[in-house]
Structure 1
Amino acid sequence: MTTTAFRPETEARLAVARQVADAVLFEGYVLYPYRASAAKNRLRWQFGVLVPPAWSAATEEHDFQHTELLMEPRPGATLAVEVRFLHAQRRSVQRARPGGGFETVPELALEDRVLVPWDEGHEERVRLAVQVAELADGDTVVPFGRPATEETEPVTDGAGRTLGRLVRRREEIRGSVRLSVSEVDGPYRTQRLSVVVENTGDWLPGEDAERDAALPRSLVACHTLLCLDAGRFLSLTDPPEWAGGAAAACRNLHTWPVLAGEPGRADLVLSSPIILEDHPAIAPESPGALYDATEIDEILALRTAALTDEEKREARGTDDRAAAVIDLADSMPPEVLERLHGAVRSLRAVTGPVPRAAEDVPTFRTPDDDPFRQGGVTRPDTPWWDPGADAAVDPARDHVLVDGQPVRAGTRVVLRPRLRHTDAQDLFLDGRYALVEAVLYDVDGGTHIAVTVEDDPGADIRREQGRFLYFQPDEVAVAEIREDA
């Protein structure tokens, strides 16, 4: 067994999974608007926090993660394990005194940023490699620890004069990684691998200690990467049929293992405190780490670019990663923003007979009534998802029957969304009168009625921009003509 560097081939394979693993490591690290003073950044680190056992006993926080999964190692296989987490370090700000020395202050204003106290995340790794055959002899326990440290960083102005300093303190943390394997009954040589990561620190909190006091002694955003150099792991979400029972019996607590790396390969696993699907990947359109996964990248980039200069100064002084987000948003070219605006990932070719001229194509009540559409009528050189691809469809003229009555553009209807309750907004729209703007068909043959709500002061703007509300035929009723209409 070794706790030093992995072989180059193993390093290369783990590097494939680290891009997604980095997203897990820094999930919610600093939230928009990226300022320490923002309310969202006062309660941090919600995923994968392993606190000291004494703290866990008094709270609902956990002090361990337990991963179980199935693997089929070949003879002589080596298992590489990399546990990654953040070690929270407390940063304080000090100002230089005129007569010498330093004093702690709530902030230190510089030309381009405002430095404030903040908890930074220092990345840590625990790495070990073990022959799978050795694990059959019993539990293998590898303890690890990180000592308490204190570091200072001078803060200077453009002329090199010392204005103050940053003081970073890290508390001691200790933990262990426990590995074991057991044989699984079945037609193949399959084993159940167990990986337990624990915080074993002996810190005893005082009666009034808060969560912030435990964080510097915790493993934050903890997750595990596994790599087999010979053999494969089995998916727990989509196992082979014969392994379904064994996969269901795997016990995973406070973490969830998924296959990582490229689809089609099964030598990598990411055991994450965030639920993922097999072979997770970063969207190719993503311009960089934004750390706030609760927002859409496009909206987040636009909002960040719109921060005031003073807000950006505070964000830059909050954390180096926040400063990088500000710089990214300020320098993002238009073509990058365009890539963020809706991505189509499943284009497919649609073939069929050459369509007739548009004026010769009749209007059909539903797609199933159109024999040409059933045959795949498309316009040449037009993508299947483009409305112009199907000459048999005309939203302005198409209609659908509702209770035997035709509903088309211009028809007044009563909204009855209570039948489905697909949106909280349904509570406010039930029983309202609306005007049908178009009858639309999706590529799967579904029918949708686009409407604007009567008495909506923004109806003209919605109509101009094509921003309608959509309902299915059984969610509307044809309105009776009112005397005041």
Structure 2
Amino acid sequence: MTTTTTTAAARFATARQVADAVLFEGYVLYPYRASAAKNRLRWQFGVLVPPSWGPAHDEPSAQRTEILMEPKGDPALAVELRFLHARRRTVQRALDDGSFTEATELRLADRVLVPWDEGAEERVELTVNVSRLVGEGSDFPFRRPAREETEPVLDADGRTVGRLVRHTAEIDGVVRLRATEVPGPYRVFKLTAVVENTSRWTPEPGAADRDAALPRSLVAAHLLLGLDAGSFLSMTDPPEWARAAVGSCANLHTWPVLAGEPGRADVVLSSPIILEDHPAIAPESAGAMYDATEIDEILALRTAALTDQEKREARGTDARAAAVIDLAESMPPEVLERLHGAVRSLREITGPGATPSDVPEAVDERADAEAVFRPDTPWWDPARDDTADPARDRIPIDGTSVGVGSRVLLRPGLRRTDAQDLFLQGRSALVEAVLHDVDGGVHLAVTVEGDPGADIRREQGRFLYFQPDEVTPLEAP
């Protein structure tokens, strides 16, 4: 085992922007104060608890990633495990005799310090040749020792008024890697990467306090995987010849996606939060807000509206919360305006008579499917003669013209559906409208045949929505 190379670090750079968002997802929630009830139950994503704690409390101590790769020769596989190590921070007040005593808070001019669990980023980095992983594979154990650190707290005059004491518990873990060749027309391997918490800590008899297990847990654990020669196959959009092999992959408590710049397939992010291939941070985002499912504009405005006392408490809660307060206070109007909403597409082709044939031949098949074609006058502009009409518009699907009144078979796509839609797999439905969105996408509003509430849905306009590639016409062309 060797540490990751500079080349691997550069390869991970773009993916790490999204990985950072995964690492700190829900780290501290608005209003960013420890006193907020929602900040007292933390660390919800990708928590791998000690083995002695997990079974009795239905929390995993390991996560498993499986993904297909096409290595060229015997390439080096770079692996980076990242997680948060919860360290317990207590507050102590200075006494006149020079000693310290525990305190519930320490009030300063600019902040109010309170006990809090901070998240320290940990990394386990290694590089190993794929050939070494074939067969039994290899295990790479790691340890983070227990430690205690103190930080003096000074007032505005430079006098010591207290201190922060941080306790970090020991964590033991292991990364298990294995490569198994997959039969098929091409040289493909299934890569299995298991991250396991192997800490020997055991709770006190009868203890049921999750807070005791968290300092010994891997929080928001996720993997970055990179090949220096070769590529990974998408788990959501694999080539037809690999679909069966992809279907045999077992991913537990994590999900791998292609990461890095669009068009590349040499980097994978496997995270406890389900993402799409090549996820990216919105370019309008001015900084990390840390709030789960954050909406930057709303959070920035609400944070800026906090009282001075509330801001003091937030600044004393955590350094990252303090950074959010500073960000909200310093955000210029033009940045807030940029956050107010954005309509973007992967590609715009403009000009008179623009058609799909104007796409360069070098564009790959997936990009073709996602391209947005815009003439000089957009479809939603009333000045156009052919503005969208949901009641009359028809679209071709598998050679059949589909519109209002058409019967279709529902086959929800795995990439963008929810659990309820999956229950409709194979059901027949009636198209009620053909709708266009501002990004150029098409959606079919449908009612399920045999649904006793279909008439009520029509009356209220509450339909189910599917994209054209999620239905099959039941009428002849």
Of stretches 10-19 and 118-127 in structure 1, the one that deviates more from structure 2 is 10-19
Q: 1:12 pairs with 10, 25, 32, which one?
A: 10
Q: 2:155 pairs with 154, 157, 178, which one?
A: 157
- Which runs of 5 or more residues in structure 2 are unaligned? 354-372, 393-434, 446-455, 462-477
2:191 matched to which residue of 1?
Answer: 193
Q: Residues 80-99 of structure 1: matches in 2 within 5 Å? A: 80-99=78-97
Q: 1:387 pairs with 344, 365, 381, which one?
A: 381
The answer as to whether partners of 1:51 and 1:63 remain within 8 angstroms in 2 is yes
TM-aligned CA distance change 1:446 to 1:48, over 3 Å? closer
Aligned-partner SS, 1:91: strand
Aligned-partner SS, 1:54: coil
Q: 1:168 pairs with 166, 169, 174, which one?
A: 166
Aligned equivalents of 2:9 and 2:352: distance in 1?
49
Structure 1 residue 304, shift from structure 2 partner: 0.6
Aligned equivalents of 1:129 and 1:252: distance in 2?
22
Structure 1 residue 123, shift from structure 2 partner: 0.6
Q: Residues 43-122 of structure 1: matches in 2 within 5 Å? A: 43-122=41-120
2:246 matched to which residue of 1?
Answer: 247
Aligned equivalents of 2:78 and 2:162: distance in 1?
44
Aligned equivalents of 1:279 and 1:81: distance in 2?
18
Structure 1 residue 235, shift from structure 2 partner: 0.6
Structure 1 residue 297, shift from structure 2 partner: 1.1
Aligned-partner SS, 1:226: strand
Structure 1 residue 317, shift from structure 2 partner: 0.2
Of the two, which has the highest radius of gyration? 1
Give the TM-score normalised by the residue count of structure 1: 0.75
Give the TM-score normalised by the residue count of structure 2: 0.76
The answer as to whether partners of 2:90 and 2:164 remain within 8 angstroms in 1 is yes
Aligned-partner SS, 1:203: coil
Q: Residues 128-139 of structure 1: matches in 2 within 5 Å? A: 128-139=126-137
Amino acid at match of 1:335: E
The answer as to whether partners of 1:93 and 1:106 remain within 8 angstroms in 2 is yes
Aligned equivalents of 1:169 and 1:399: distance in 2?
62
- 1:156-186: CA deviation from partner (whole Å, max 9, x where unpaired): 0122110100000001110001111111011
Aligned equivalents of 2:269 and 2:199: distance in 1?
25
- 1:64-117: CA deviation from partner (whole Å, max 9, x where unpaired): 001111001111200011100011000000110012111110000000000000
TM-aligned CA distance change 1:186 to 1:161, over 3 Å? same
Aligned equivalents of 1:63 and 1:30: distance in 2?
23
Aligned equivalents of 1:137 and 1:231: distance in 2?
20
Structure 1 residue 7, shift from structure 2 partner: 2.2
Structure 1 residue 10, shift from structure 2 partner: 1.2
1:26 matched to which residue of 2?
Answer: 24
Q: Residues 425-436 of structure 1: matches in 2 within 5 Å? A: none
Amino acid at match of 2:384: D
2:207 matched to which residue of 1?
Answer: 208
Amino acid at match of 1:262: E
- 1:317-356: CA deviation from partner (whole Å, max 9, x where unpaired): 0000000000000110111111111111127345558xxx
Aligned equivalents of 1:320 and 1:38: distance in 2?
17
Aligned equivalents of 1:294 and 1:387: distance in 2?
32
Aligned-partner SS, 1:80: strand
Q: Residues 36-435 of structure 1: matches in 2 within 5 Å? A: 36-206=34-204, 207-346=206-345, 348-349=348-349, 351-352=351-352, 384=378, 387-390=381-384
- 1:29-60: CA deviation from partner (whole Å, max 9, x where unpaired): 00000000001101001010000000012111
Aligned equivalents of 1:441 and 1:70: distance in 2?
36
Aligned-partner SS, 2:175: strand
Aligned-partner SS, 2:148: strand
Aligned-partner SS, 2:348: coil
Amino acid at match of 1:220: V
Aligned equivalents of 1:180 and 1:7: distance in 2?
21
Aligned equivalents of 1:77 and 1:326: distance in 2?
45
The answer as to whether partners of 2:135 and 2:180 remain within 8 angstroms in 1 is no
- 1:262-307: CA deviation from partner (whole Å, max 9, x where unpaired): 1111000001000000000000000100001323111111111111
Structure 1 residue 219, shift from structure 2 partner: 0.5
Structure 1 residue 222, shift from structure 2 partner: 0.3
The answer as to whether partners of 2:348 and 2:374 remain within 8 angstroms in 1 is no
Amino acid at match of 1:348: E
Aligned equivalents of 1:326 and 1:203: distance in 2?
37
The answer as to whether partners of 1:63 and 1:198 remain within 8 angstroms in 2 is yes
How much identity, in percent, do the aligned residues show?
67
- Which runs of 5 or more residues in structure 1 are unaligned? 354-375, 402-439, 449-470, 477-485
Aligned equivalents of 1:377 and 1:184: distance in 2?
43
